[in-house]
A and B are shown apart, each in its own frame.
Chain A
């Protein structure tokens, strides 16, 4: 965050780099190359800004589709998940929020620049200042793309965990009858019978024939 909002760069300082003339004369091809480089430098910042705005819109649409479309359906309540899996989903969603926010800030920084003030003595000549800003924008754009895609991946992981994670299980009932022992969650009790949901399906037990009845945290 500090890198996003801090003051802009400091100006350059003169360095000791003695220039020397080149014995090889410049050619017309050299001029064309220098002109092309000059043209690219003059248009560099607007091109980075335009690319960042396009990426911002595209990735924003992708995230909106992920969040708003069917991917976040399935189990509507992570409370139905087994406790450890629900905690994992919570961490994934928190990480997606943090990473997604960072990515969005990076993309906005690349598309619109930093809300920073540069000290007058630090101002650089226009082509150089714009070039350095363009490099910063390109770096922020790459980071923003990576972070936003990571956010989408984390969201997908959270949704997949919500879908395919094991259900939270309640207290189990274990009964013993002359025909065997049954264990499962209680579906209903009435008319002298107990209906259990076991791993093999629903089982109706005649309560008059139950010899033992106990609660268990999990079925064997």
Chain B
């Protein structure tokens, strides 16, 4: 399972592959920064743990959908209480070129989860 440290950019682009690893979440938790442009909206910024591309992943509470319910955030049960943190599903959303990437997809195929603390009340 490929795992690239930040700064070790490959000369040849990684092929698209839908893959995950425990290290991905650990890497993101350690290196990503969190920005809050508005309440209920976060930006997790850092480098993809697989392809090392710089990505900004929005964490939002809802998405506009005309004629249907808002797309809610999927949350998993949090052992330490859902009110204090939530599990965020993340994937690489880079625009870099990755061979074999299906039409209409983004990123290199890496995905992972990370726990995001809720805003202090």
Binding site for B on A (CB under 8 A): 9-22, 24-26, 28, 30-31, 33-42, 44, 47-48, 51, 124-125, 127-128, 131-132, 134-135, 137-138
Contact = CB atoms under 8 A, between A and B. Distances in A.
A128 B34 CA distance: 13
The list of the 6 closest CB pairs from A to B, nearest first, reads: A12-B37, A125-B56, A21-B25, A12-B35, A19-B29, A22-B113
Interface string B81-121: 00001010111010000000000111000011111110100
A128 B37 contact: yes
Contacts of A14: 33-35
Interface of B: 18, 20, 22, 25-26, 28-30, 32-38, 41-45, 56, 58, 60, 63-66, 71, 74, 76, 85, 87, 89-91, 93, 104-106, 111-117, 119
A35 B116 contact: no
Nearest to B118: A17
Given A17-B42, A24-B113, A36-B71, 9 more contacts: A18-B29, A19-B44, A22-B113, A25-B20, A26-B89, A34-B90, A48-B66, A125-B43, A128-B58
B36 A15 contact: yes
Q: Which of B22, B43, B45 has the most CB of A within 10 A?
A: B43
Nearest to B110: A31
A5 B38 CA distance: 20
A47 B25 contact: no
A179 to B, nearest CB: 74
A39 B91 CA distance: 12
Nearest to A31: B111
Nearest to B46: A19
Contacts of A13: 35-36
B113 A128 contact: no
A19 B71 CA distance: 23
A138 B70 CA distance: 12
A122 to B, nearest CB: 9
A39 B103 CA distance: 12
Contacts of A47: 64-66
A107 B4 CA distance: 47
